[in-house]
Amino acid sequence: MIKITFPDGTVREYEKGVSSLDIAKSISEGLARKILAANINGQVRDISRPVNEDATLQLLTWNDKDGKSTFWHSSAHLMAEAVESLFPGVKFWVGPAIDNGFYYDMDLEDKKMNEEDLQRLEKKMNELARQNNSYTRKEISKSEAIQYFANKNDPYKLDLIQGLHDGEITFYSQGNFTDLCRGPHIASTGIIKAIKLTSIAGAYWKGDEKNKMLTRVYGITFPSQKELDEYLLMVEEAKKRDHRKLGKELGIYTMDDDVGQGLIMWMPNGTVIIEELEKLAKETENEAGYKRVVTPHIAKESMYITSGHLPYYADSMYPPMEMDGEKYYLKSMNCPHHHKIYAAEPKSYRDLPYRIAEYGTVYRYEQSGELFGLMRVRCLHMNDAHIYCTKEQFNEEFRAVNDMYLKYFKIFGIEKYVMRLSLHSPDKLGVKYVNEPELWKETEIMVRKVLMESNIPYVEVMDEAAFYGPKIDVQIFSAIGREFTLATNQVDFSQGRSFKLEYTDQSNKSETPLIIHRAPLGTHERFIGFLLEQYAGKFPLWLAPIQVKVLPISDKFIDYAKTISQQLKNADIRAEVDDRQEKIGKKIRDTELMRVPYMLVVGEKEMSENNVAVRRQGKGDAGVKKMDEFLNEIKQEIKDRRAE
RNA sequence: GCCACUUUAGCGUAGCUGGUAGCGCAUUUCAUUCGUAAUGAAAGGGUCGCCGGUUCGAAUCCGGCAAGUGGCUCCA
């Protein structure tokens, strides 16, 4: 007999060799029908695998992350079976489960797949699922495995097998399809009830753009049609808050072919938001002891040689302009200009920390396929600043920057983000990263310490650092699920030396300062893109392009509406009058759709007593108020910069 | 940049296998002067992304280019 320990701590005894499925059956038939996989001593396994020793066991269902991914991984195999039957001779690479479904990479050679083929594949998959074929596991020797895929003429699987050790190779089969696979899998195809193949894409073999591009098919499956329908509905809802859609609807920004790809033009409504953000940044940075600077948009080639950005980053810079034999580049970062300001006057340790800030405009020639609405553009406005400090001051300064992030995030109500400690990769020293192994080690410890002391949850990721030092990135997800760095806080132990930046220390020696690069509000482009999605277009009052719309019941009250709006404007509140000849219902509807926070309905009753009928966007009628009372309340709400 | 797909009025869209374009919203005008999410009527607006080819004839078929979308790669 063996002892099985369940997640709640209970221990039960079973015959040696019992399967997870049998164990589930011993608990309840309902559970047995629902389990997809089992976590045995920390390893996810097929439910049919025998358990031969004492173990901790968690039975995994659709509600467990590992249960879902097993289900989706098995779905990828089912899709591969369907592909093989409709595209004979196809070669497969890998087909993992992902956060939302699965994909399979394949080489169709001279054949092509289109959207209609996805329908055919779905149909075939449904047919195969209904056959309810079992997923069967088979241990196989390396030579047999090689034999099998050599016969099948599949170079990709052979490449995978090369990396595996004899004795640890397994095949999984279902129906007519056999794949090299570590598993685990669900018991049989019949429990896959709802299938949606979502897209066809190209993907480089092994993720390397020098390699051949394979065809990747994405899909998602569910144990019931209802869940698929819900998922599809959720995707539709997410699209409604896509910043590209909202940006157009709300008149935030526009682009034009004659201006160029990825070059944003901010319309009046967007410009209001930019100016409010800058106001906030300036207030916050003044308080934190920053000084403001302004620098030009171009610089000579020599500066980017000094900074180390050329020639490595030349590809992502606009090509140079030549004047009088000199090459000038559009700046793709503000740091070198700021370093020159630091260097303009000799510094003593008494001048440090030296903090200079600028909403700097930079240009990056991003590859055309990478552009994405406001999130990835070619001209961006950075909430940039550089802090030059001593090693002793570093901890406090870096931490102050982190605290500034958190303060901002509270103002904006930003909760769904991941703090990422981005570290270098030692095997890329001298290639992607400055070759200073000791300094890397030292600064990474310093940054980690700040995070730990601030008690901020974070993840550590290798090979994501800047070339000049480690950083903390704030990762967010767009409405359609793409990941972006919203804000960044970076250490730089390298550029100080490249630019020969110095300060005189207490003992009259020259020292190189450490530099902190930081952009807590990221860029206007990405930040506003993010805010549009975060608020679904409903900006908090202080950011709203139009804060109050005054809606006269009829033409007779336009003059009164104008005096109300003028009073608001006198108090620096962004107000407008809707003087169209429309019914009040229409005016309210249009104003609601434009997400204007406050509507003031005025007619006979209000005019006679200097009142306004207040309506809050999305919340309906808020009752009649004295104009003075409303004015005081709204002024306070704007001052508070509350996130709803 | 690479793979696939898409591109019809300011916006959202219809247009089967080729016979030179409709609808809704928006706009303008007129009527209406209205009490909390769409008043009615009329009018204007498109060389169907651009260039070329096939054809008696192209929004529709073919090729190239551009932009956009979904991915991949990249993201100082």
Pull the structure tokens for residue A1.
Answer: 């007999």
Question: What is the number of H-type helices and E-type strands within chain A?
Answer: 19, 35
Q: Which residues pair with A386 in a beta bridge?
A: A356, A517
Backbone angles phi, psi at A100, to 5 degrees: -130, 75
Whether the CB-CB separation of A299 and A329 falls below 8 Å is answered with yes
* pLDDT the model gives residue A46: 93
A25 CA to B38 C1' distance (Å): 59
Q: What is the pLDDT of residue A422?
A: 94
pLDDT, averaged per 10 consecutive residues of chain A (644 residues), comes to: 89 90 90 91 91 90 94 96 92 93 91 84 93 93 92 92 90 93 92 93 92 93 94 89 93 91 94 96 96 96 89 85 92 95 96 96 93 94 96 94 93 90 90 89 93 89 91 89 91 93 96 96 95 94 96 95 97 95 95 96 95 95 95 95 70
- Nucleotide with C1' nearest the A332 CA: B76
Q: Which nucleotide is nearest to A593 (CA to C1')?
A: B37
**A621 CB below 7 A from strand B atoms:** yes
From the CA of A407 to the C1' of B24: give the distance in Å.
46
Nearest DNA or RNA nucleotide to A204 (CA to C1'): B72
Question: For A256 and B75, how far is CA from C1' in angstroms?
Answer: 23
Q: Residues 567-596 of chain A: which lie with beta carbon within 7 Å of strand B? A: 580-586, 588-589, 592-593
Q: Is the CB of A371 under 7 A from strand B?
A: yes
Give the CA dihedral A35, A38, A44, A48, nearest 10 degrees: -90
Q: Is the CB of A620 under 7 A from strand B?
A: yes
Question: Which among A89, A106, A39 has a CA at the least distance from the CA of A67?
Answer: A39
Q: Among candidates A575, A408, A397, which has minimal Cα distance to A487?
A: A408
Pairing of strands A459-461, A471-477: unpaired
Q: Is the CB of A608 under 7 A from strand B?
A: no
Evaluate the CA torsion angle A411, A414, A415, A418 in order and state its sign.
negative
- Is the CB of A289 within 7 Å of strand B? no
Using the CB atom, is residue A520 less than 7 Å from strand B? no
State whether the beta carbon of A376 lies below 7 angstroms from any atom of strand B. yes
| A482 CA – B69 C1', rounded, Å | 14
pLDDT at A480: 80
Note the pLDDT of residue A644: 58
In the structure encoding, which two tokens stand for residue A462, read together?
A: 């290798």
- CA-closest candidate to residue A599, choices A583, A571, A578: A578
- Name the closest nucleotide to A304, judged by C1' and CA: B76
Q: How far is the CA of A13 from the C1' of B64 (A)?
A: 73
Whether A173 contacts A128, CB under 8 Å: no
Strand B contact residues in chain A (54-73), C-beta within 7 Å: none
**Residue pair A327/A320 in contact by the 8 Å Cβ criterion:** yes
Contacts of A585 (CB under 8 A, 6+ apart): none
* Long-range CB contacts (within 8 A, 24+) of A399-402: A399/A450, A399/A453, A399/A454, A400/A288, A401/A489, A401/A516, A401/A518, A401/A520, A402/A450, A402/A451, A402/A454, A402/A456, A402/A472, A402/A489
| Nucleotide with the nearest C1' to A249 CA | B11
Record the tokens describing residue A31, joined without a space.
Answer: 């559970």
State whether the beta carbon of A606 lies below 7 angstroms from any atom of strand B. yes
Tokens 């704007």: give the residue: A638
Query: Which protein residue's Cα is closest to nucleotide B39 at C1'?
Result: A583
Nucleotides of B under 7 A from a protein CB: 1-5, 11-12, 27, 30-39, 66-76
3-class DSSP state of A479: coil
What distance in Å separates the CA atoms of residue A80 and residue A174, rounded to the nearest whole number? 11
Q: Is the CB of A366 under 7 A from strand B?
A: yes
CA–CA separation, A158 and A534 (whole Å): 46
From the CA of A581 to the C1' of B43: give the distance in Å.
Answer: 18
Bridge partner residues of A418 (DSSP): A475
Whether the CB of A625 is less than 7 Å away from nucleic strand B comes out as: no
Contact (Cβ atoms closer than 8 angstroms) between residue A361 and residue A334: no
Q: How far is the CA of A198 from the C1' of B58 (A)?
A: 33
For A107, phi then psi, to 5°, come to -110, 110
Q: Say if residues A361 and A350 touch (Cβ distance below 8 Å).
A: no
Closest-approach nucleotide to residue A210, Cα vs C1': B73
Answer yes or no: is A377 CB < 7 A from strand B. no
CA A533 to C1' B23 (Å) is 31
**Distances A547 to A407, A538, A543, A565 between C-alpha atoms, Å:** 24, 11, 8, 11
pLDDT value of position A314 = 84
Which of residues 245 to 284 on A have a Cβ less than 7 angstroms from any strand B atom?
248, 255, 257, 261-262
Instruction: Work out the widest C-alpha separation in chain A, in whole angstroms.
Output: 94
**Distance from residue A583 (CA) to nucleotide B33 (C1'), in Å?**
9
Report the distance separating Cα A293 and Cα A257, nearest Å. Answer: 33
Complex confidence, ipTM: 0.93
**Closest nucleotide (CA of A313 to C1')?**
B76
Give the pLDDT of residue A110: 77
Joined tokens for residue A581: 């000849």
Which residues from the 177-216 window of protein chain A have CB within 7 angstroms of nucleic acid chain B?
198-204, 207-209, 213, 215-216
Q: What is the pLDDT of residues A7-28, one digit of tens each?
A: 988 999 898 889 999 999 989 8
Q: Are A1 and A14 in contact (CB under 8 A)?
A: yes
CB of A382 nearer than 7 A to strand B: no
- Tokens for A104? 């399979």
Nearest-nucleotide field for A200 (CA, C1'):
B4
The whole-number pLDDT of residue A116 equals: 81
Count of all residues that appear for chain A in the document:
644
Report the SS3 class of residue A580: coil
CA separation, residue A382 to residues A266, A361, A379, A517, A520 (Å) = 15, 6, 10, 11, 9
Q: Which nucleotide has the least CA–C1' distance to A617?
A: B37
Measured from the CB, is A430 under 7 Å from any atom of strand B? no
